[in-house]
Amino acid sequence: MMKKSAGVEQSNPLFRQVYEFMLNRIERGEWKAHDKLPSIRLLADELGVHRLTVFKAYRALTENGMLYVKDKSGYYVSPGSRLANSVEEGAAILGYTVKSPMSDIQRKPVTYQFSQALIDPGLLPNLFLSDYVKKVFDLYPKVMGTYSSVQGDEELRTTLSRHFHDRYRLQLSAGELLITSGAQQAINLIAGIMLGPMDAVLVERPTYSVALDIFRRAGARLVPVEISPQGYDLAAVEELMRRHKPRMFYINPTHHNPTGYTVPAKQRKLLVELAERYRCLLVEDDPFRDMHFEEEPPTPFFAYDTEGWVIYISSFSKYVAPGLRICAVACRYPFMERLIAAKSLADNGTPLLNQKIFLHYYTSPRLQQHLGKLRIALQVHKEIMEEELAAAGWEWTAPQGGLNLWVKLPDTVPVDTLFVRCMEQSISFVPGEICDPLGEMKSWLRLSYSFASEGLLREGMRRLTAIAREIEAEGRRGE
Find how far residue 444's CA is from the centre of its chain: 20
Which residue in 255, 252, 259, 204 sits closest to 226, CA to CA? 204
Q: Between residues 57 and 461, which has the closer beta carbon with respect to a second copy?
A: 57
Q: Is 213 in the site for a second copy (CB under 8 A)?
A: yes
Helix (H, G, I), strand (E, B) or coil at 187: helix
Least Cβ distance, residue 412 to a second copy (angstroms): 34
Residue 439 is a binding residue for a second copy (CB under 8 A): no
Identify which of residues 323 and 372 has a Cβ nearer to a second copy in the complex: 323
Enumerate residues 233-262 that contact a second copy by CB under 8 A: 243-245, 247
Q: Which of residues 334-353 bind a second copy (CB under 8 A)?
A: 334-335, 338, 341-342, 344-348, 350-353
Residue 222 or 457: the one with the smaller Cβ distance to a second copy is: 222
What letter represents residue 127's amino acid?
L
Position 56 contacts a second copy (CB under 8 A): yes
Phi, psi of 78 (to 5 degrees): -70, 145
User: Measured between alpha carbons, how far is 458 from 449 in angstroms, rounded to an integer?
Assistant: 10
The residue among 80 and 439 lying less far from a second copy, judged by its C-beta, is 80
Size of the site for a second copy (CB under 8 A): 119
CA distance 386 to 378: 12
Answer for which of 44, 201, 324, 359 binds a second copy (CB under 8 A) is: 324
Which of positions 97-156 make contact with a second copy (CB under 8 A)?
A: 98-100, 103, 107, 118-122, 124, 126-127, 129-130, 133-134, 137, 141-150
Task: Provide the minimum distance between the beta carbon of 457 and a second copy in the complex, in angstroms, as a whole number.
Answer: 17
Nearer to a second copy, 64 or 228 (CB): 64
Report residue 64: phi and psi, to 5°.
-85, -5
Contacts of 281 (CB under 8 A, 6+ apart): 194, 247, 248, 249, 275, 309, 310, 311, 335
Q: Which of 36, 301, 354, 463 binds a second copy (CB under 8 A)?
A: 354
CB of 181 to a second copy, least distance (A): 5
The upper half-sphere exposure of residue 118, i.e. CA atoms within 13 Å in the direction of its Cβ, equals 14
> Within 150-179, which residues bind a second copy (CB under 8 A)?
150
- The residues with which 178 forms a beta bridge, in sequence order, are 329
Q: Which of residues 388-417 bind a second copy (CB under 8 A)?
A: none
Measured CA to CA, the distance from residue 187 to residue 284 in angstroms comes to 10
Contact in structure between 170 and 328 (CB atoms under 8 Å): no
DSSP-assigned beta bridge partners for residue 428: 113
